[in-house]
Amino acid sequence: MVDDPTIPLGDIRQRDPGSDRQGAFKRGWTAAVKDLNDDGESSKYSEGPPPETLTWDNLGYRLGSIFGETDDDQRQRLFDWCKEKQKRERES
């Protein structure tokens, strides 16, 4: 499924992300929710194919597309989980 926004083709996420990457993740998630709400507003991801590389911003968008609107705690837990998973994968 080439059009599936959850399939990363190249991971270029910054290692040990700080608050700036956490903000990018949450901005991406917010963009996904905006696209799901179908209220006429669109995000930078709403047209064209999904990005071919994985960034913290579009990872947030991919997860936001799956989970939709959630509370901030849930978004934070998923960001932390992704951060730890990235760390484990780079160590192996």
Would you write out the chain's pLDDT as a tens digit for each of its 92 residues?
345 454 455 666 767 777 888 899 999 999 888 887 766 666 666 666 566 778 888 889 889 989 999 999 999 999 999 988 888 877 77
Distances from the Cα of 85 to the Cα of 16, 59, 67, 90, 92, angstroms: 11, 13, 19, 9, 11
State whether residue 72 is helix, strand or coil: helix
Q: Where are the domains of the chain?
A: 19-91
- Estimate the share of the chain in helix, then strand, then coil, as percent rounded to the nearest 5: 55, 0, 45
Residues 52/10, Cβ–Cβ less than 8 Å: yes
Residue 46 to residue 56: CA distance in whole angstroms? 17
Alpha carbons within 13 angstroms on the beta-carbon side of residue 32 total: 24
